[in-house]
């Protein structure tokens, strides 16, 4: 099979046919579906009234959906600074008026409501299910508010983890439902990703509101009190409209949705991989992958795997991989945890924005800081040096599962313990 180039229309995904050597050219990447960086940013910097008039949008619901989709898309643009990204989110939040905080009512247990459109076999389920399982049910009563359009067997698992509620598309009705449930803390798990409920959070249905996990940035809403993060993802000086709460053990605790085999040693040519979405593969990342391939004779590179694979088929792919190369500036999250759980180390490049620091957080919390690069040259060096030491790769491969399960990434009590302590403290402040 001849070398493949990216980007090209109809690129054959790795692992459905293994390329001898997948090499990337210097072709200019076409803008993604969210529009060009300059035009999108210009739109954001306009006054709300002017923008609505120019684009012909009618009503807050239409405006919310258009802006929230654009905000998510901006993270794939390397031309924008963190300050510009923050400002775009602030502009989004300006459309919602200030509202008073509802008073807290006495409950026998602290009532926590998790709100998501991803209560199905979505990447979020890998993190939400172990978190829900680890909650102390003697002290916390859990409600799940769903805007999930797709339902499957994983949805059934969620329904067993708390009081299940189907959220109305009408924010006023959803507001009344949450108030009737006397929720103490309402948690947004979607941010500006599809199916979010941020327009509901703007109404302040609960005494305390929190956002975390589903989105790598601030929401822009002053009505959300806290954003949960850690010192690596958002160090001092990070920008957010919410108060940043840095949990000691991070915010990610992971469990795959299916049983997997224990990782086994590998031999043969080195196989690198990137299993993330194609739109995360920026020209800068592509250039570094080229350099790595040039420096490791006989190496192969597998690119984002065909999503039609079943979960068991997907996880079997890791049996054929040696090193995962993370994307930047938008890092992976689930794909990094998949790899580490399956014994495959990940090289990440730590950047200057939230979405470019998640990989560093995950690797720190599992104890692999040596795979975190701070410069592009570092990224290449780490990948090449790791590829030249098959003995060490196999030692990692056979030991990473145990290390993962002993770390905050694999033992949910670390993260949930921090989370519950925060919930108690946040309510005491009301």
The residue ranges of every structural domain in the chain are 37-93, 110-253+411-428, 271-406
pLDDT at 30 over 50: no
User: Closest Cα partner for 22 from 366, 296, 241, 383?
Assistant: 296
Does residue 410 have a pLDDT over 50?
yes
Both tokens assigned to 24: 């990337």
Q: How is the beta sheet containing 323-325 ordered, strand by strand?
A: 300-302, 271-273, 323-325, 346-349, 372-373
pLDDT reading at 302 higher than 80: yes
Does residue 13 register a pLDDT over 70? no
Of all helices (H) and strands (E), which one includes residue 289? Answer: helix 283-295
Q: What is the mean pLDDT of residues 295-316?
A: 86
Class of 271-406 in CATH: alpha beta
Q: How far is CA 307 from CA 127, 136, 145, 277, 304, in A?
A: 19, 35, 27, 10, 8
Quick one: pLDDT at residue 55?
Answer: 41
pLDDT band at 66 (very low <50, low <70, confident <90, very high): low
What pLDDT is attached to residue 136? 98
pLDDT tens profile 330-386 = 999 999 999 999 999 999 999 999 999 999 999 999 999 999 999 999 999 999 999
Per-residue pLDDT averaged across 291-300, rounded? 96
Closest to 72 measured CA to CA, from 204, 243, 195 = 195
The strands making up 243-246's β-sheet, listed across from edge to edge, are: 163-166, 140-146, 110-116, 185-188, 208-211, 226-229, 243-246
Radius of gyration of the CA atoms of the chain, in A: 22
On the question of pLDDT at 211 being above 80, the answer is: yes
Question: Under CATH, which number does the domain 110-253+411-428 receive?
Answer: 3.40.50.11380
Residues 97, 143: Cα–Cα separation, whole Å: 27
In this structure, of 23-27, 186-190, 278-282, 402-406, the range with the lowest mean pLDDT score is 23-27
pTM of the full predicted structure? 0.86
Is pLDDT above 80 for 45?
A: no
- Please give the residue that has the higher pLDDT: either 168 or 59: 168
CB count in 10 Å sphere of residue 229: 26
Average pLDDT, the chain: 86
Tell me which DSSP letter residue 224 carries. Answer: -
Q: Provide the residue count of the chain.
A: 430
pLDDT tens-place string over residues 176-188 = 999 999 999 999 9
SS3 145: strand
Domains 110-253+411-428 and 271-406 share a fold: yes
């Amino acid at each position: 099979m001849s070398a493949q180039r990216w980007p090209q229309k109809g690129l054959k995904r790795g692992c459905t046919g293994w390329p001898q050597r997948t090499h990337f050219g210097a072709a200019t990447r076409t803008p993604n579906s969210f529009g060009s960086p300059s035009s999108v940013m210009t739109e954001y910097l306009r006054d709300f009234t002017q923008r609505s008039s120019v684009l012909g949008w009618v009503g807050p619901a239409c405006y919310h959906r258009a802006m929230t989709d654009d905000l998510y898309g901006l993270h794939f643009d390397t031309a924008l600074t963190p300050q510009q990204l923050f400002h775009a989110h602030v502009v989004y939040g300006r459309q919602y008026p200030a509202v008073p905080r509802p008073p807290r009512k006495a409950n026998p247990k602290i009532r926590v409501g998790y709100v998501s459109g991803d209560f199905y076999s979505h990447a979020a389920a890998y993190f939400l299910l172990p978190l829900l399982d680890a909650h102390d049910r003697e002290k916390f009563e859990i409600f799940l508010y769903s805007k999930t359009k797709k339902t499957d067997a994983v949805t059934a698992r969620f329904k067993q983890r708390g009081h299940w509620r189907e959220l109305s598309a009408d924010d006023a009705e959803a507001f009344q439902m949450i108030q009737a449930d006397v929720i103490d803390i309402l948690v947004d798990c979607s941010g500006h990703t599809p199916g979010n409920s941020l327009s509901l959070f703007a109404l302040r249905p609960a005494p305390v509101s929190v956002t975390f996990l589903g989105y790598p940035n601030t929401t822009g809403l002053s009505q959300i009190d806290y954003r949960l993060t850690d010192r690596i993802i958002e160090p001092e000086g990070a920008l957010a409209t919410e108060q940043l709460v840095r949990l000691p053990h991070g915010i990610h605790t992971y469990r795959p949705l299916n049983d997997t085999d224990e990782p086994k040693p590998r031999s043969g040519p080195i196989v690198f991989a990137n299993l993330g979405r194609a739109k995360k593969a920026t020209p800068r990342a592509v250039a570094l992958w080229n350099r790595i391939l040039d420096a490791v004779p006989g190496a192969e590179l597998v690119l984002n795997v065909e999503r039609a694979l079943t979960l068991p088929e997907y996880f079997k792919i890791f049996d054929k991989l040696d090193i995962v190369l993370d994307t930047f500036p938008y890092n992976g999250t689930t794909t990094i945890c998949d790899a580490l759980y399956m014994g495959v180390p990940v090289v990440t490049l730590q950047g200057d924005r939230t979405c470019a620091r998640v990989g560093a957080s995950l690797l720190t919390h599992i104890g692999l800081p040596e795979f975190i690069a701070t410069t592009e040259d570092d990224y290449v060096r780490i990948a090449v040096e790791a590829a030249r030491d098959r003995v060490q790769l196999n030692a990692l491969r056979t030991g990473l599962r145990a290390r993962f399960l002993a770390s905050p990434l694999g033992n949910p009590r670390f993260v949930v313990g921090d989370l519950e302590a925060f919930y108690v403290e946040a309510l005491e402040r009301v």
